[in-house]
Amino acid sequence: MKFRLIFLAALSLSLGSFASDGSAEEIRNIKQAMYRSIESSYVTDSLYADLKSRVPQNALLIGYLGTLEALKAKHAWNPYNKIKYVALAQKTLKRAIKKDPSNMEIRFMRFSVQHYTPAFLGFSKDLDEDRGVIAKQYRNRKFGQADQELVKNIASFMISSKRCAQDELALFKKYV
């Protein structure tokens, strides 16, 4: 318990340095925390509380907030809370996409959330649209704030998702 409190305090201090403006450094710090949040509900909760309290206006930060809501669903044990957070994540990601419709990274966040959400819940309606936008951005080499590692990881995920057409697969394979 004591370790957990120390860990959360240290995480809060490191997250407290975010400028909430979408600067390159802030995005890098959030991405690093996001990777840890996939496996840790404590990191997810802390990063979510910090980012939500800042009321982000930047589309990419709103996208991260939506992804964190989806991760809260992943970590929740109660089925009602899982569905509630997935629905909230979908609304938040839709808002981020409305602010920046061609942002490959935001489209990928929504694509990956919907890919892992059971289709019978009705939250997987944008997969084709997002896949198309992501492929278009790869064709045009417009990666936004995504670094080379993220570009490679997105391409790998798109290939492994088994949701791409042959021409899209060939395109993504160029980046792996």
The C-alpha atoms of residue 151 and residue 131 are separated, in whole angstroms, by 14
pLDDT above 90: residue 16: no
The C-alpha atoms of residue 10 and residue 29 are separated, in whole angstroms, by 14
pLDDT at position 163: 97
Which has the closest alpha carbon to 27: 152, 144, 155, 157? Answer: 144
pLDDT (average), residues 121-143: 96
> Rounded to 10 degrees, what is the CA torsion of 57, 58, 62, 64?
-140
pLDDT at position 6: 32
Residue % of the chain over a pLDDT of 70: 88
Q: If you search the block for the tokens 């970590």, which residue do you land on?
A: 75
What does the mean pLDDT of the chain come to? 89
pLDDT at position 134: 98
Contact 82, 44 (CB under 8 A): no
pLDDT (average), residues 145-157: 94
pLDDT at position 107: 98
Q: If you search the block for the tokens 């009602």, which residue do you land on?
A: 80
The C-alpha atoms of residue 38 and residue 49 are separated, in whole angstroms, by 16
- Describe the chain by its helix, strand, coil percentages, rounded to 5: 75, 0, 25
pLDDT (average), residues 132-144: 96
Instruction: Compute the residue count for the chain.
Output: 176
pLDDT above 90: residue 91: yes
Which has the closest alpha carbon to 59: 19, 111, 108, 95? Answer: 95
pLDDT above 90: residue 15: no
The C-alpha atoms of residue 15 and residue 46 are separated, in whole angstroms, by 9
